[in-house]
Amino acid sequence: MTRHNIVYLLSKISYSKTISGIAFGRCIGSNRWLHEVIYTMKSHSSCLFFFIVSLLLAGCSAVPSDKYPSAPVPDQWQQPTSTQQVKSSAWINDFNDPQLELLILQALANNHDLKASAGRVEAALAQARIVGADLNPSVDGNLGAQRQRSNTESNGSVSNNYSTTLNLGVDISWELDLWGRLSSRARAATLEFEVSEAEWQAAQLSLSASVARSWFNLTEAQLQLNLVEQRLSNLSDNLITIEEDFKLGLRDALDVYLARADVAGEQARIANRRSTLLTARRTLEILLGQYPEGLITSTKTLTPLSSPIPSGLPSELLQRRPDLIASQKQLESTNQLAAAAHADRYPRLTLTGDVGTSSSDLDNLVSSDYLVWSVFGGLSTPLFDSGRLEAEEERAVANIKIAEANYNQALLTAFQEVEEGLINETLLQEQEAALKTASEESIAAENLAFDQYQNGLLDFITVLESQRRSFDAQSTEIEVRNQRLQNRINLYLALGGAFIDDTTNTQNDPLPALTP
C-alpha cells in the first residue's frame, strides 16, 4: 500500500539554518510612513540618513523561514490490512460496549488531570492575548489634583499663597513593528496556544483510551478470579473424593497430600487475584474522578472485536493525531521566536504622545482653551551588549533544531506504533484462535484424566498435570483476548481515532486510499 499522500502539513516541517535577507527596497516598499521618515531624516542630515538606513537594511533580514526538509517516511505499511470494510463511526463504538461509552463520558467530565489540561489551554489563550496586545497602542488616562502652599516674605512679614492645579489627560505609547519582532512573538504565542489546545485534545484521547484499557483490565481480572474460584471448587470436590477413597483404602496418602496442596495453592492464588481485581477497580475509579473505593463492577465477558481493519487505510489519518499537531505547532512557534530574537538586534521606533488639559479650575478641565499636548518619536538601537542578543538568537536557532528533531522522532514513532498495531492484530488473532482450541482440548483431557484415575488407569500426577494445562490454557486465552482489545486501542491511538476520519465527509469526498 503506497503512502505517497502522507501527512501533507506534517512532513514538510523543519528548520532552515540561515534566515535569508531581503532587499531594502522591498522592506520599505509597503510602508509609506517609513518613506516619509527616511525623507525627513535625509533632508536634515546626510550622515544621520546613511546611519539609519544601514540599521534599517540590516534589520530587513528578520523574517522567519518557511522552508522545512521532510522527515524520512516509508512508502508503504509493512502489514497488509483486511479486505473487509467498516462503517464510519467513532472508535469507541467498535467495541460494542455501551457501559464503556458511559464511563468514558464520565471520565471526560470529571477527570482532574484533564481539567488541568483545559486550564492550561485557557492560560495559553490569555498569554497569547497579552503578547498580541504589544502590537497595538497603549492608552492610559490620568486625572490629577495638586494643592500647594507657598510663603513670601516682605518687610519682615510673611504671607501665605495657595494654588490649585488640576490635570486631565491621556497618554499614548506605540512601538511600531518595524521588522516583525512583535508580530513574530504574537504569532509564536498564538502557536503556543494551539500547542496547548492540541495537547488538551491528546489528553482527551489518551484519557478515553486509558479508561478503555482499565475497563478491559478490570474485566480480565474478574474473569481470572472466576476461573480460579471455579478451579478451587473442582479441586475441592476432587479432594473430597480422594479422601473418601483413601479411607476405604483405595488411594495412597500421597494422592491426598497432593490434592490438599493443590487446594491450598489455589486459595493463595485467589487472594492474589482478588488483590489484582481491587487494584484494577481503584485505577478505573481514579480515571473517572471518583474516590477509589474499589466498588465498581465489570461485565462478565470480554466483548470480542466485531470490526476488522479496513483495506485502503489512508495514511492521512495521522494528520489528526493531536500529539503530532502539537509537535508541528511547537516547531513553528520556535521558528517565530527565532525571527523575533533576530529582530531584537535592530532599531526600535516608538511614538509617544500626551494630550489633556491643565487648569486651576475644575470647570475648565473640559475646555479646549486649556488643551495641552506633546508628541515624541524615538529610534533606539542596541550598540554594545557583550554579545547577549547574538547569544539569544543562537539559542533560539538551537531550539528550532531541538523542535525539528522532536517532531521527526514523533513522526517516526507514530509510524512505528501503526506498524506494530497492524502486525499485532494479525498475530494476536492467530494466537487467540490457537489458545481457544488448546483450552477446549485441555478441558476435555482434564475430565478424561480424572475419570481414568478413578478407574485406576492413571496415577494422580497425570491428573494434576492435565488440570494444570487446562487452567493455564484457559487463563492465557483470557489474557490474549484482553491483549487483542488493548492492541486495538493502541492502534486507534496511533491513528488518532477511528479507521475512518469523522472530521471530514469521507463518503462524498474520500481520502486517497492505500492500495495493496
SS3 per residue for 200-257: HHHHHHHHHHHHHHHHHHHHHHHHHHHHHHHHHHHHHHHHHHHHHHHHCCCCCHHHHH
SS3 state of residue 290: coil
**DSSP sequence for 331-342:** HHHHHHHHHHHH
Q: Compute, in degrees rounded to 10, the torsion defined by CA atoms 131, 31, 62, 352.
A: -40
CB 128 within 8 A of CB 193: yes
Place of cell 517516511: 73
Read off the C-alpha cell for 160: 501665605
Whether residue 68 is predicted with pLDDT greater than 50 in this model: the reply is no
According to the CATH classification, is domain 139-178+347-380 in 3.40.50.10070? no
Whether residue 322 is predicted with pLDDT greater than 70 in this model: the reply is yes
Averaged pLDDT for residues 12-18: 34
Question: Which positions ≥6 away from 77 have C-beta within 8 Å?
Answer: 1, 3, 313, 315, 418, 419, 422, 514
Closest among 436, 424, 411 to 496, alpha carbons compared: 411
Q: For 476-515, how does the pLDDT look when each residue is reduced to its tens digit (9 = 90+)?
A: 999 999 999 999 999 999 988 887 765 543 333 333 332 2
**Nearest-angstrom CA–CA distance, 415 and 72:** 11
Whether residue 66 is predicted with pLDDT greater than 90 in this model: the reply is no
Handedness of CA 406, 411, 415, 421 (dihedral sign): positive
From 189-203, 256-270, 451-465, 502-516, the region with the lowest mean pLDDT = 502-516
Closest among 19, 12, 53 to 341, alpha carbons compared: 19
Question: Which positions ≥6 away from 158 have C-beta within 8 Å?
Answer: 151, 152
More confident residue, 31 or 129: 129
Read off the C-alpha cell for 457: 488407569
Q: Write down the number of H helices and E strands in the chain.
A: 10, 4
Q: What are phi and psi of 190, to 5 degrees?
A: -65, -40
**Nearest-angstrom CA–CA distance, 284 and 243:** 44
Q: How confident is the model at residue 396 (pLDDT cuts 50, 70, 90)?
A: very high
Whether residue 77 is predicted with pLDDT greater than 70 in this model: the reply is no
**Nearest-angstrom CA–CA distance, 50 and 55:** 9
- Burial status of residue 177 (CB atoms within 10 A of its CB: 0-12, 13-18, 19 or more): middle
CA angle 463, 466, 472 (to 5 degrees): 140
Read off the C-alpha cell for 262: 493443590
Averaged pLDDT for residues 239-247: 87
**DSSP sequence for 130-176:** HHHGGGS-EEEEEEEEEEEEEEEEETTEEEEEEEEEEEEEEEEEEEE
Place of cell 490629577: 144
Whether residue 460 is predicted with pLDDT greater than 50 in this model: the reply is yes
The 3-state secondary structure of 165-210 reads EEEEEEEEEEEECCCCHHHHHHHHHHHHHHHHHHHHHHHHHHHHHH
CB 259 within 8 A of CB 242: yes
Q: pTM for the whole thing?
A: 0.76
Averaged pLDDT for residues 93-122: 92
**DSSP sequence for 353-395:** EEEEEEESSGGGGG-GGGEEEEEEEEEE-----TTHHHHHHHH
Closest among 332, 92, 66, 104 to 198, alpha carbons compared: 332
More confident residue, 237 or 63: 237
172: β partners:
139, 353
First to last CA, the chain: 4
Q: Domain limits of the chain?
A: 139-178+347-380
* Range among 50-54, 87-91, 140-144, 432-436 rated most confident: 432-436
SS3 state of residue 18: coil
CB 232 within 8 A of CB 270: yes
CB 266 within 8 A of CB 235: yes
Q: What is the pLDDT of residue 503?
A: 55
Number of residues that make up the chain: 516
**Nearest-angstrom CA–CA distance, 411 and 69:** 13
